[in-house]
A and B are shown apart, each in its own frame.
Chain A
Amino acid sequence: MSDGQKDPITRLVDRTVTTVKRTARGVHNGLLHYARMDRPPLASTPRDTVWQRDKVELWRYRSDARRGGPPLILVHSLVNRSYIFDLVPGNSVVEVLLARGVDVYLVEWGIPDAADAENGLETYSDYYLPEIVRVATELSGAESANVLGYCFGGVLALLYAAAHPDAPINTLIALATPVDSTKLPTQLRAGGGAFDPELVIDESGNVPGNVIGNAIRSLTPVAELSANVNLLANLWNDEYVAAHNAITMWGNDQIPFAGRAFRQTVRMMGQDNGFMTGRLELGGRSISLDDIRVPFLNVFGSKDHIVPADATRPLSGLLGSPDVTDLELNAGHVGLFIGRTAHRHGVPAMVDWIDQHS
């Protein structure tokens, strides 16, 4: 019997029962949340650490369904945690990739402290990444690897590919990677103008995680309050609460930015707008995006408020590669690869593109 066919009293009883059930569930979830007993199981896909140097680790995800061919190396940003790629069971891009038979590696940069303050962009792009790509291709028995950089990880991947034109890269994929810093929000312009990076570098020689977190939060000043209000309205919904907790935890989990790399970024991106003007250097030598000749996929979100599409769209025209594809998704910064829509459409589109080029 459909709801419309029920008599008014039965409908009222049904509605009351639903309300009572939801309220009870909401109170239960609310208490768990308040007591912080509802922490989600983050980054739980089984993996092995296959390489380690200093604080940097290379993880390879276990799978019985690897199809062979070039592996995929996920290169994360330097300012937040890499578990966004393997958030929670059921909402993990790593899971989706493994299900498609991809041989997945993830670069975990670690949490910088005073010992990492002198790490420059060349430490990541000229020292760690070449070794990581060599190890991954060797372990996978492949001749080359697909390299996917997300946000600032994309910047590192671009610098690596430009500085090493002969590197064993099969394809390069940039996700929400900023190249035109004049199109970034004022708070993230890495100091266009007279910004002094020393103002935000602390005694350890790094930029504290909370400085970066506050800059990102200031882009949408009421977003945190709205997220909590939405949580309150959806406390009865276990799935919603789990997703909220996972994303909120990650969103508040910024890590320090190595001081030297930060100063270089302020100069390269904030002051020189180096990707757009061609004034790029790594480890004291000039490099050019024109030297990137491998197939390239540029993925960006039309709703991204952190790295707006306009800041990343020009990238496709800056490379020397004759095989360049743009993939604009109706998503935000994280929604590019997190959530149901991304797992049904966005991520499969990326894997299809990789498959066509492997």
Chain B
Amino acid sequence: MAQPLWKKTYDAVEQQVAPPLQKAMGNPGVIDAISLGRAVQRRAMDDAATLIKRGLHAMNLPSGTDVRDVSNQIAGLERQLRLLNKRLDEFEAKLAALDDGGDGR
């Protein structure tokens, strides 16, 4: 079945528009602009979060940053637990090697 006219029109426009747009997006200038935009956005969000945090703390309420700090602390604990597990595995492996090499003596 033949393609509808609207689809043919879209394809024709896309063929003209896509390549230059693709080239423009790969331009280092565009990448720099996006990076700068991201840095500005991050700074603005940090400033807003500080203001909100002050307001919430004045009312003795926890802020989003407090929740994030707690979750990062939990993540830190999980990492320590993983490290302990890893050490335990290594220790058990060494013990097993000693048992094998010791001929039961």
Contacts and interface: CB of A to CB of B under 8 A. Distances in A.
Given A18-B1, A222-B14, A204 B21 contact: no
Q: Which among A196, A205, A220, A233 has the highest number of chain B CB atoms within 10 Å?
A: A233
Contacts of A274: none
A221 B18 CA distance: 7
Interface string A172-198: 000000000000011100000001100
Nearest to A188: B26
B25 A218 contact: yes
Interface string A193-211: 0011001100111000000
* Chain B interface main SS type: helix
Nearest to B18: A222
Interface residues of B, number: 28
B71 interface: yes
Nearest to B65: A203
A237 B22 CA distance: 30
A111 to B, nearest CB: 13
A233 B11 CA distance: 12
A270 B55 CA distance: 42
A229 B6 CA distance: 10
A226 interface: yes
A65 interface: no
Interface in B51-101: 68, 71-72, 74-75, 78-79, 82, 86
Given A187-B26, A200-B38, 7 more contacts: A115-B74, A186-B28, A218-B25, A219-B25, A220-B22, A222-B14, A226-B18
Instruction: Give the top 10 A-B pairs by smallest Cβ distance, nearest first.
Output: A114-B75, A115-B78, A115-B75, A186-B26, A233-B7, A218-B25, A222-B18, A221-B21, A229-B10, A114-B72
